[in-house]
Amino acid sequence: MPIQSVGVRVRRLFLLPILALLVSLYAHSQEVGTITLLKDTPLHVIRNVSVLQGVEGMRLRQGDILETGPAPTAQAQLEFTGGAIIELGPSTQVLLLNQSAVAGEMAMLTGWLKGETTAGTYRYSSPLVTATSKGGNVLLHATADAAEVFV
């Protein structure tokens, strides 16, 4: 297992809580989507100061942080009110930022994400790369020191 530098560990330790705090200051409790499929994963939903167990049919809100389990087959599917379908792979950490009927934005610290949209503009960000799609597909993979994106 590679040894991580102190800077990488500090960034991973503090980035998500800081982002969650900033988003919680102005996030609305508006529901923006639903968890529609969980497979081989304990999905954690961090909402404000609570850690919830994700279940199929659970309503998602702006500011939620989603974390999938480490199993190689772990996945979660999210459907948003604007029609986007987002698939999360194993060991993924995602923060749901701005979501509306015509646009969406999410930040991913690590993991795998596949986004499919037929309309609207969706932006997927990671510490190293950002991709925007309007009526298309995006596959994003990010680790602490590398990122790949396919549009």
Residue 114 host element (H or E): strand 103-116
- Give pLDDT tens digits for 77-103: 999 887 889 999 999 999 999 887 788
Question: How open is the CA angle 91-116-92, to the nearest 5 degrees?
Answer: 10
Domain range holding 114?
6-150
Give the pLDDT confidence score for residue 129 in this predicted structure: 92
Count of domains forming the chain: 1
Range with the lowest mean pLDDT among 4-8, 95-99, 126-130?
A: 4-8
Query: 16 lies in a domain?
Result: yes
Query: 52 lies in a domain?
Result: yes
pLDDT-derived band at 44, boundaries 50, 70, 90: very high
Question: How far apart, in Å, do the first and last CA atoms of the chain sit?
Answer: 31
pTM as predicted: 0.77
> What is the pairing mode between strands 121-125 and 103-116?
parallel
Query: 1 lies in a domain?
Result: no
Region 22-44 average pLDDT = 73
